[in-house]
A and B are shown apart, each in its own frame.
Chain A
């Protein structure tokens, strides 16, 4: 990279890390939702305070 390796590879590495982080966090969110749906054993009273999770 003609002496600019840190800046060029740093840019692409940062972008890759952020994109991979977004994809993994979405997968985890999907997984958590699927688990919640399959096990409806959580009492409703426990979930009263969870309405603020609806938006993010």
Chain B
């Protein structure tokens, strides 16, 4: 039942995602003003911040699905965790690379081992570790359980990333958007950033559902083949 439903709803996420990406980029490049301090270099924020948020958000989501799959032996939930991991990896990589490209003109260096950057790099390694661990184990259910342990242990890194700029004296600037309190950027900059964040979220739903459908089919195929050969 889930498989055909997922197939039907994918375009409802993919098409609005493309529209919002275009709108957000237009807003960010043509409507949002040039920053008084950083000039146009700040425009990297429109992809850097949404990518960083998605990297953290998707990790938490992956850990939740992996945990549910492990605790309740729910195969679909574990498969969802596997489907989320590559997209989370991609967003974390984008946040690190765009951060480095933003760091050079503003801080004078591509990389510094400060708390925010180091903990984000650890997030990337956690994603890669999750994917590698699952790929290294032949039995899918064992792979799911091993992945769940890693995902759940690694989730502690997410609040460390988020609060690192408050807990330690870092080169990285403080939070632009606060859960409580006013944002520190002007409305047009914020609007462009939030539109691209929405686009990233919709994109993630679409690609994760496509990947999930692939994983479901692959596991079904392999299970029937293994049954054929009597394993």
Instruction: Establish whether residues A14 and B98, one from each chain, have CB atoms under 8 Å apart when the complex forms.
Output: yes
Residue from B47, B104, B210, B219 in contact with A15 in the complex, judged by beta carbons closer than 8 Å: B47
Q: Which residue of A lies closest to B14 (CB)?
A: A23
Chain A residues within 8 Å of B43, by CB: 1, 8
B151 to chain A, nearest CB (A): 13
Interface centre among B86, B138, B207 (most CB of A within 10 A): B138
A28 to chain B, nearest CB (A): 10
Secondary structure type dominating chain A contacts:
helix
Residue A56 interfacial (CB < 8 Å)? yes
How many A-B residue pairs have C-beta atoms within 8 angstroms? Tell me.
Answer: 110
Total interface residues on B, CB under 8 Å, equals 50
Total interface residues on A, CB under 8 Å, equals 32
Chain A residues within 8 Å of B185, by CB: none
A contact residues vs B (CB 8 Å cutoff): 1-4, 7-8, 10-12, 14-15, 18-19, 22-23, 26, 29-30, 33, 36-37, 44-45, 47-48, 50-56
